[in-house]
Structure 1
Amino acid sequence: KAGRWQHALGTWMQMNAYQVQPNLIHCNAALSACEKAGAWEAAFELLKVLPSISLRADVITCSALISACEKGGCWEQSLELLTRMGREQLEADVICFNGAISACEKCGQWEQALRILGSLPDYGLHPTKNSFNAAIRACGWDGQWQNALLLLGDMEDK
């Protein structure tokens, strides 16, 4: 896995040398390789390059970045990406939010996980089983069994 993301980034960087204009599909493929390897730092470096080649991140780009954050245990960066999506008028889907909830869960940030879960209706989104499961696991980190039970009840109601 480790070599694949490095190869994908190397190919991305060589495109200009061969006078091939990279597009967002190329970018998202490279980001997906980084995400699968948990190489969140490399993914963010790639994000920084986009404006210099006149590309703008889309929901797929941000979703891959949030997923890389989840795998890398970078909950704060996943929240920053959700905020950035709002600023750039990109409509985050439930997959983006679930990735951020999972990133919080992996780092024991149960309060943040619950905050994100609770915000889904504000964006016209409905929590999925994955949303609830990640938030319940986050509650388990700090012995928040009462909150976990409330979430189980909410999940059954939905």
Structure 2
Amino acid sequence: LPRLLSNRLLRPLPNGLRTVSQQSSSAQQQQLLLGGESVWEGSGTEAESAWGEVLGAPNSSLPFNALISALARAGKWQIALSVFARMKKLGIPPDHFTWSGLASALARAGEFDRAMALFEYMGERERLEPTVVVCNCALLACQRKAKWQRALQLLWRMERMGVQADVRSYSMVIRTCELAGQSEAAMTVYQRMQKTGCKPNTFTLASLIRILGKTKDWQGAVKIFE
């Protein structure tokens, strides 16, 4: 795997998931992780159980994807990345379900830099156009860190790539702008949302009303509510 992935996605490990290569060089540690041969101290049962789930069908991405998805829900993004590394080592090509699971794991954990690196890795190394699901995971990572400028860039980039943003996409960008105190940017996104014909949901409207309330534009808030 390229240095982009190894340097930005697979370090550092938390105390509960230190490997036996802790005293070795950074390059050796990354090699262990990328090779999927890490021995987890303090989490051995957890890791062994994870690998055991996929041994029955080593030539299919399906069990790997299911495991990555389960790890994402459990907040075990480090192990999810190790599963991905094992897939690559076995020559099993990741599909959009793989990327969605990885992106979800990183976004849920608030791993903004790693989520962005994964997004770029898909296009630069795998030559894949991300789906709206993967894009939404990247937008969620932006929202968790209130990275409103990056969220806007991703939204406009989706349009250029021909990825149709959905109500979740727009809602998360608007919410990110709200968290960052960028009311003007949020309203710009809403206007763009209207032009595309995408109808707002309750989360979109709630963010907009809060934004207009903070700017004391009560008339605008009432109009949105209606």
- Please confirm whether the aligned pair reaches a TM-score higher than 0.5, indicating the same fold: yes
> Which runs of 4 or more aligned residues in structure 1 lie more than 4 Å from their structure 2 counterparts after TM superposition?
none
Question: How large is the RMSD of aligned CA atoms in angstroms?
Answer: 1.8
Once the two structures are superposed, residues 61-99 of structure 1 have per-residue CA deviations (whole angstroms, 9 ceiling, x without a partner) of 111111110011111111011111110111101110000
State the AA in 1 paired with 2:209.
I
- 8 Å contact from structure 2 (residues 205, 225) kept in 1: no
Indicate the residue corresponding to 1:24 in structure 2: 96
- 8 Å contact from structure 2 (residues 129, 161) kept in 1: no
Q: Which moved more, 1:8-17 or 1:29-38?
A: 8-17
- Equivalences for residues 75-94 of structure 1 within 5 A: 75-94=148-167
- 8 Å contact from structure 2 (residues 209, 224) kept in 1: no
Indicate the residue corresponding to 1:144 in structure 2: 215
Once the two structures are superposed, residues 100-144 of structure 1 have per-residue CA deviations (whole angstroms, 9 ceiling, x without a partner) of 00110111111111111122111111222211211233345xx41
Q: Which moved more, 1:125-134 or 1:103-112?
A: 125-134
SS in 2 for 1:126: coil
Shift of 1:3: 5.9
- 8 Å contact from structure 1 (residues 28, 64) kept in 2: yes
State the AA in 2 paired with 1:92.
A
Considering only CA atoms, is the larger Rg found in Structure 1 or Structure 2?
2
Greater helix share, structure number: 1
Q: How far, CA to CA, are the matches of 1:48 and 1:11 in structure 2?
A: 19
| Equivalent position to 1:63, from 136, 161, 167 | 136
Q: How far, CA to CA, are the matches of 1:3 and 1:119 in structure 2?
A: 34
With over 3 angstroms needed to count, the CA separation of the structure-2 counterparts of 1:41 and 1:152, relative to structure 1, is same
Indicate the residue corresponding to 1:132 in structure 2: 205
SS in 1 for 2:219: helix
Indicate the residue corresponding to 1:38 in structure 2: 110
SS in 2 for 1:91: coil
- Structure 2: give runs of 5+ residues left out of the alignment: 1-71
State the AA in 2 paired with 1:88.
M
- Structure 1: give runs of 5+ residues left out of the alignment: none
- 8 Å contact from structure 1 (residues 31, 64) kept in 2: yes
Q: How far, CA to CA, are the matches of 1:128 and 1:91 in structure 2?
A: 17
Quote the sequence identity (%): 27
State the AA in 2 paired with 1:49.
Y
